[in-house]
Amino acid sequence: MKDHYEYPYPSPELESQYPFSVYEHERLTEEAMLDRAKAFYAEMNARRSVRMFSSDPVPQELIELAVKTASTAPSGAHKQPWTFVATQNPEIKREIRVAAEQEEKINYLENRMNEEWQEALAPLGTDHHKEFLEVAPWIVVLFEQRYETRTDGTTHKNYYVKESVGTAAGLFITSLHRMGLATLTHTPTPMKFLNKILNRPENERPFILFPVGYPLDGVKVPDLKRKDLNEIFTTVLEA
């Protein structure tokens, strides 16, 4: 009975209608799995968001590889409902900075963010100055596609868009860190101005803006602690 499936996937009917292939997977020893998991955790635990970048250039190929990695994310009905828009053009970066700072001035100085929100941000010390938007060599904006527009002009809904795009964002951040670059998940809310500056269509909505580059030498980050496992993980062992 072990691992016997009464309803195997794909069913013969399904396989006669759509293509399938055997998933290539190498099963590792538990020891090898532990080694890899511990090394990867240590590497990811060293990642930090930074707010000052070096202006040193970064080759476009590295950005493209991070986007390709992000696009391996699972997505609702495999729609891959995302567009990554990258620029290293100084004038466009300036326009984005000016527009972002305009919104953030309202958030911080005119209290569009309420007191509780501003208190939560106090240890980070963020404010309306977004100089990094001009200094970082790249700005990559991740847009979510609320629906897709096909070449024949018809529109089709996407599913679980936020879940899908959020998952892709995580892989993008992971890929950048792994290749030795830094980023910041920046959301200069409201972000609709990015459609205009970056010339994006109506079906796309900005999800996260990522400045990308090397961290500035000696850059400081808040002494944040990550939650212990017992605060974020629990098991349910009895029915």
Nearer CB in complex with ligand IYR: 114/199: 114
Binding residues for ligand IYR, total number by CB under 6 A: 9
To the nearest whole angstrom, how small is the minimum distance from the Cβ of residue 233 to ligand IYR? 23
Select from 34, 109, 121, 179 the one that contacts ligand IYR (CB under 6 A).
121
Q: Which of 104, 158, 204, 213 binds ligand IYR (CB under 6 A)?
A: 104
> Does 144 contact ligand IYR by CB under 6 A?
no
CA–CA separation, 96 and 206 (whole Å): 13
Near ligand IYR by CB under 6 A, which window of 68-76, 118-126, 208-216, 228-236? Answer: 118-126
Report the residue number whose CB is nearest to ligand IYR. Answer: 126
Site for ligand IYR in 188-217 (CB under 6 A): 188-189
Measured from the CB atom, is 125 or 153 closer to ligand IYR? 125
Quote the least distance from Cβ 41 to ligand IYR, whole Å: 23
The distance from CA 21 to its chain's CA centroid, rounded to whole angstroms, is 29
Residue selected from 34, 187, 196, 221 as contacting ligand IYR according to rule CB under 6 A: 187
Distance CA 158, CA 80 (A): 9
Count of other CB atoms within 10 angstroms of residue 149: 14
- What is the spatial distance between Cα 68 and Cα 66, in angstroms, rounded to a whole number? 5
Binding site for ligand IYR (CB under 6 A): 104, 107, 121, 124, 126, 186-189
